[in-house]
Chains A and B, each alone.
Chain A
Amino acid sequence: MKPAAFEYAAPSSLQEATKILADYNGEAKILAGGQSLVPMLNFRLLKPQILVDINRIPNLDYIAEHNGGVRIGALTRHYALETSPVIAARFPVISEAMRHVAHLAIRNRGTLGGSLSHADPAAELALMAILLDARLTAASASGTRIIEAKDFFVGALSNALEESEILREVEFPGFPLFTGWGFEEFAQRLGDFAVAAAAATLTMSGARCTQCRIAVIGGETVVRAVNAEALLTSSSLDDKTITAAAKAAAQATPMNSDLRASSDLRAHLVEALTRRALEAAKHRALEKQQ
């Protein structure tokens, strides 16, 4: 478990970094927190020619309020997100989700950009990005572009970035008023990647649900449970509809089968967790109206 030889660069600007990426033409790997990349190097699953360490690039580590939402720099550590008062106030669902990401030592190193780029189908931050319609800014030598979260995760461990692009910033657009949220995860141990998870936001106007977002972990990528969302939108969030929506969420994507759980169990878990997340979201939304 020792990596193959590689070169190492620690550029001090984004321009410099993107230039190295372009120069090495697919043979470079970005090093952020290293919590996912380094194990893969040690197993020799990856043998990049060069590591581009982006930790010395200034101004990539920030949480800034913007238009009722937040913009977060790609190098922001998990621990910073977990403990940020801005996030707690604006996106309490993210604060809650972060507590389920790995262990403290890993959260001290792991970064938002690293987690999203790594695109693990069971990552809580991918779930948040999909749930909250995040907008991702990618930078390359030729400029920047915005990628919607729904277009970013193209498969397990695979994202929509070009090899010469760096994920620079993630924007979470503002939460509508009177929105409640719920987050539920099942993992056998605290800090493990989710076997299954569900997160939801429900926006209420009086007794009606005006907007519903549900995202689930269990399949090849995180997905939105659009059929479930449709059932709930405009409903009064009665028990029957929530039950039906939870069932629909379990069918939002074909579920994975692996050592941890069969696809049957994952579907069962997604249904149960979605139900709990919806109930929590409804409860919080109603509370806010009072």
Chain B
Amino acid sequence: MSVEVRPKLIGARIKRVEDPRLLTGQGSFVDDRQPARMLHVAFRRSDHSHARITNIEPSAAAKMPGVFGVFTAADMNLMAKPVRATSRSKDYHATEMHALAKDKVRYVGEPVVAVLAESRYLAEDALEAIDIEFDSLPTVIDPEEAMKSGAPLLHEEAGSNVLLTRQFARGDADGELLTAPVRVKGRFRFGRKTPLAIENRTYLAEYDAGRQALTLYSSTQVPGILRDALVDILDISSHQLRVVAPDVGGGFGGKSSLYPEEIVVCALAKRFGRPVKFVSDRLEDLATTSQGFDEILDAEMGFDKDGNILAYRAEVIGDVGAYSIYPWTAALEPVQVISFLPGPYKIPNYRGRVRAVATSKSPTGPYRGVGRPISTFVTERLIDMGARRLNMDPAELRLRNFVGPKEFPYKTCSGIVWDQSSFTECLERACKEIGYDAFLKEQAGARASGRWLGVGFASYAELTGIGSRISAAPGMPINTGTELSTVKIDSTGSVTAIFGIASHGQGLETTLAQVVADELGARMEDVRVIQGDSAAVAHSTGTYASRSAVLAGGAATLAAKAVREKIIRVSSHLLEAAPADIRVEHGTVFVTGTDRKMTFKELARAVYSEMGRVPLDIREDLEATKQYDPVFGTTTSATHVAIVEIDAKTFRVKVLRYQVVEDCGKMINPLIVDGQVHGGVAQGIGAALLEKIIYDDKGQLLTASLVDYLVPSAAEIPPMKVSHIETRSPSTVGGFRGMGEGGTIGAPGAIANAVSNALSHLGIEITELPITPEQLFRAVRQSTK
């Protein structure tokens, strides 16, 4: 009798409920809060890459109009402990970071002095009056130089600039590579990139002196991580600190670490009992928000003459910048590179080794895709180079080496397990959608008339929604594997769903409401999602690593189901029906086969307000809190195909067409999935063709404004087609797989392959991203010499 006729909300293309608010200027970002008596803090930052601080003269600044105070490390260290990102990994050295640089500076942009003033203008005026004497130390710019013994040390107490060494191996890659009939190799470089969220990092700390309670409003992705870290750093108890992430204008990983400025606003607000705000400007954002992707790989792949991969080996150097960032550590990206190099392929022999090297540049941290844009770029390039040598079609070579549809679950040579995934199906469908065979004909014709067209694939697999058995970064002392959700129906019948995750553009207020409404039997409009508040749940970390739909979605499912069971129990009493005859839909409880029903409002009144209506022994609150832990996580896979044209005279690379076929399991909201893919691909195109953070050999940041750091705008992004294969994850509640990062993972490799393909008549193989006109100009000139 209980046939489900109602269209499910899960799977529906529902418009984002947060958009009307955000698009009409009614959002509430940190900078929108303007409490009375607020002070602004601005930072005098290091203009040296590596130097000893010999003297700071703050007195002139302290006397400037509107200046409330000037603070150095000596002051700050009385208010806050230094930060160390520890890890249980062996061969790892943590680095100590002070909110304001103590004794030494290690990158241009490192905060040295904080000025607290009535306005940001006056604070900046005062910054100019501060005199700092630096004693220059040798810069540590080139990671290969920095690794050498005798290189100048950034952190003397670590004893080395190599903060971490790690290796994964299976079989005998070195031996097999000696004898493999076909070998391809290269030195690959992926340029340093910055996340560049549209909202710069912004922090406001408010202190309630009467309650001795601090609230930090932060444009963060990780309110829970911040709360847990800051109570230690400030030496307060956790009920004295609440971290709120209100509307946040993008993060891409750049807002998922703890920043010195967050410590400073908290410490000063607490010290002076006045609200303290810091709004980073774009210059500070480019210089100090955690960067990513800066990796060098010497990689080699060997095949037999039929194209079966025999062995794969990579030596990786990760340039992690000045500090091992909290909480992710310097291991995060470098280790993910060697974890994911094997990709969706069966590789019998593998050795990947990485060294994470400190340099006197801005610290690196998570950036959308973490490690996998790099591993995918390199592996997919080697596959294409192999195809060229083997004279095989690159799609065919991939299909030959993929973990096949019947081979799941599959444990890769770096130890990751792929659950049932669609490697083969994604690629086959991508060939069909893009019209691969027809394009090859078009390409041949175009080449005859001097036009350089190229097609490139990138197939990848990523581990998403990771649970407690696998850490986002190895050995980290925090738990990134669980999320909590509370679902409750209040006395008016409204549904509130509470989470610790922190949506910052992903539309989680919509997708989580869809999940709760479906599982509970509520109407979408009755569900209010509360998130981004450390006080809302007992434990949470936040939103990063393609986890929130899987973990928060899973927790929401469990909590909503538990509340639904309570609804059924109580309404079975109220409506005098057997539980099996009760249906909960659209915020109403029905008794099947009768006209008896109760709305949530009536039900809630009966439970909470009508004294004695529900006998004490069966009375239950309509509320449940559940934790969800996917334990290992689940696999998301995709194939991207790019078709590009290169202007043979100006070397302009134009992406003509772009196709993504992905499998993120059961889709909660395909509209949002498409949007996430579009944005991710746009960032991947940026990484492939435009974006690069450049430091000169003095450690000065040359790309310190958006004139020099080139991000793609709408005009540079091609029309995209996204197709979906929906294989429910066997490993997660709801069958969801994470998909927030995938776009950025596939695009760099696909474009690098397409550009190489367009230049194949010249024998050019792209090994460095971004692909600049200068790089192409030199390569073409070299090849035609």
Contact = CB atoms under 8 A, between A and B. Distances in A.
Interface of A: 1-5, 43-44, 103, 186, 188-193, 195, 259-262, 264-265, 268-269, 272-273, 275-276
Contact of A261 (B702, B703, B705, B774): B774
B281 interface: yes
B649 interface: yes
Interface in B698-720: 702-703, 705, 707-708, 710, 712-713, 715-716
A261 to B, nearest CB: 6
B715 A5 contact: no
Contacts of B705: 43
Interface stretch (B96-104, B118-126, B302-310): B118-126
B124 A189 contact: no
Interface string B631-665: 00000000000000000011010000000000000
B567 interface: no
Of the candidates A2, A186, A190, A269, the one having the most CB atoms from chain B within 10 angstroms of its own CB is: A2
A189 B712 contact: yes
B650 A259 contact: no
Contacts of B538: none
A265 B649 contact: no
Given A5-B125, A189-B716, 14 more contacts: A4-B128, A103-B713, A186-B652, A188-B690, A192-B710, A195-B773, A259-B708, A260-B774, A265-B773, A265-B774, A265-B777, A268-B777, A269-B650, A275-B649
Interface string B490-519: 000000000000000000000000000000
Given A261-B774, A265-B777, A272-B649, A189 B713 contact: yes
Contact of B777 (A44, A188, A264, A275): A264
Contact of B650 (A2, A4, A43, A186): A186
Given A4-B125, A264-B777, A259 B713 contact: no
A190 B716 contact: yes
Contacts of B774: 260-262, 265
26 contacts: A1-B281, A1-B282, A2-B121, A2-B124, A5-B121, A44-B128, A103-B713, A186-B650, A186-B652, A188-B690, A188-B773, A189-B715, A189-B716, A190-B716, A191-B713, A191-B715, A193-B707, A259-B702, A259-B708, A261-B774, A264-B777, A265-B773, A265-B777, A268-B777, A272-B649, A276-B649
Nearest to B65: A5
Contacts of A43: 283, 705
Given A188-B710, A259-B702, A259-B703, A1 B650 contact: no
B169 interface: no
Nearest to A185: B650
A33 to B, nearest CB: 17
Contacts of A275: 649
Nearest to B123: A2
Nearest to B713: A189
How many chain B residues sit at the interface, stated as a range, is: 20 to 34
Contacts of A188: 652, 689-690, 710, 773
B160 to A, nearest CB: 32
Nearest to A265: B777
Contacts of B478: none
A268 B708 CA distance: 21
B641 to A, nearest CB: 23
By Cβ-Cβ distance, the 5 closest A-B pairs, closest first, are A190-B715, A272-B649, A1-B281, A2-B121, A2-B124
Interface in B82-140: 120-121, 124-125, 128
Contacts of B715: 189-191
B213 interface: no
Of the candidates A186, A195, A273, the one having the most CB atoms from chain B within 10 angstroms of its own CB is: A186
Interface string B750-785: 000000000000000000000001100100000000
A193 B705 CA distance: 14
Contacts of A103: 713
A2 B120 contact: yes
Contacts of B713: 103, 189-191
A48 to B, nearest CB: 15
B694 interface: yes
A278 B121 CA distance: 51
Contacts of A192: 710
B125 A189 contact: no
A189 B124 CA distance: 33
B253 to A, nearest CB: 23
A261 B773 contact: yes
Contact of A259 (B128, B283, B694, B712): B694
Nearest to A3: B121
A43 B706 CA distance: 13
Nearest to B282: A1
A3 B128 CA distance: 12
B271 to A, nearest CB: 24
B555 to A, nearest CB: 41
B690 A1 contact: no
